[in-house]
Amino acid sequence: MNRRHSVESAGMPCRAPLHIDMLPYPVVVGAFLEREVAAFLNSRSMKRVVLLCDRRVEEHAYRYAEALPKGTPVLAFPLGERRKRLRTVEAVLDALAEAGVDRQSTVLGVGGGVAGDLFGFAAASYMRGVPFVNLATSVVAMVDASVGGKTGVDLAAGKNLAGAFCDPIAVFAAIETLDTLPARQLREGLGEVVKHAILEGGVAFTRLEELASLSLRAWPWDAIVAESIRIKSALVLDDRLESGRRELLNLGHTFAHGLEYATDYRLSHGAAVSIGLRAAGLLAIRRKMFSREEHRRLISLLTQLKLPLHDEDFETEGVLEGMAADKKARNGALRFVLPRAIGEVERGIAVPLSTVRAVVERLHTV
């Protein structure tokens, strides 16, 4: 079956791409962006390009390579969170050197959030930095990981502990690639979309409540992705290095990173974020910041979206250990981003360990 047809029939429209010009680099959201990618590279006179891709999206990477100068290499790597490590970066750097990539070359990274973080980091270090274009193929990558310039990998001590701030020169959210994203990844990626909707409130949140009963394959993904990117971009714009308002984007993430660490990355990032959002709500209720009514609204949305709210199989102490290693900890004290209401979120809230432990315990059950 013709792929364009299959994507349209899956409810993913082939409308004109949406251009978001809020950041120092262009962000384009739409289906089948081969022409847009080629035109962007041409406009910058970037003739030498190498594609790095997650092996699972090789088919998409080759399709995009076809629109680029003949002979553009495609280098594929098996990825996944457990491979988001320095040893994989080394393998990528070796492959770039072997392919004869030089400082006049541009790296186009194709894949989900792991690919973006890892290839972005490799591009930032290769020959002290070559330009990086991010072509995002998962919901998490499109709405979050590709935008904002955070790159890096996990260490044994915790998630994302080695990395660099390094902006891409362009981001393309290739909506048609969601057609091959497994249903579970498509759904769990909504954890980050809900996070952005809590930060923004208003229509961003009610739209998700309205869409929740529809099949995910029928969602207007280009509009949803573009809105999420706009919400993130507004926070990233004036705070590139995360010293201020950008921290709000970590809503639910201290818990999420602790859960991912404690489950040895069995939980996907999106699933952990969903549970982390519930945990942030529970903690905010204990701090008397957040009403039970608002919390019920949040839980109702996560439930309707069939996102996880608990996990039976983790050690509480493991989560606390992962949280302590989180970059958001300062002088050993855990500080949280917590909601006051849907649409009103506060950062830098220190919470006693005993309260955090009690909330983590609650996450074993619904």
Q: Which residues bind ligand NAD (CB under 6 A)?
A: 54, 56-57, 79-81, 84, 111-115, 117, 137-138, 140-141, 144-145, 148, 150, 160, 177, 180-181, 185, 268-270
Comparison of 167 and 294: residue with beta carbon closer to ligand NAD: 167
Comparison of 58 and 321: residue with beta carbon closer to ligand NAD: 58
Lookup result for tokens 């022409």: 35
Comparison of 124 and 181: residue with beta carbon closer to ligand NAD: 181
Comparison of 144 and 294: residue with beta carbon closer to ligand NAD: 144
Q: 300 is written with which tokens?
A: 């109702």
Residue type, 155: L
Shortest reach from residue 172's CB to ligand NAD, in Å: 13
Shortest reach from residue 309's CB to ligand NAD, in Å: 18
Backbone angles phi, psi at 315, to 5 degrees: -95, 125
Q: Which residues contact 44 (CB under 8 A, 6 or more apart)?
A: 106, 169
Comparison of 80 and 343: residue with beta carbon closer to ligand NAD: 80
- CB crowding 76-102: b at 16 or more within 10 Å, else e: bbebebebbbeebbebbbebbeeeebe
Residue closest to ligand NAD (Cβ): 113
Lookup result for tokens 């390579």: 65
Comparison of 48 and 230: residue with beta carbon closer to ligand NAD: 230
Distance CA 169, CA 44 (A): 10
Comparison of 327 and 362: residue with beta carbon closer to ligand NAD: 327
Q: Do residues 281 and 298 make contact, with C-beta atoms less than 8 angstroms apart?
A: yes
Comparison of 106 and 137: residue with beta carbon closer to ligand NAD: 137
Shortest reach from residue 318's CB to ligand NAD, in Å: 18
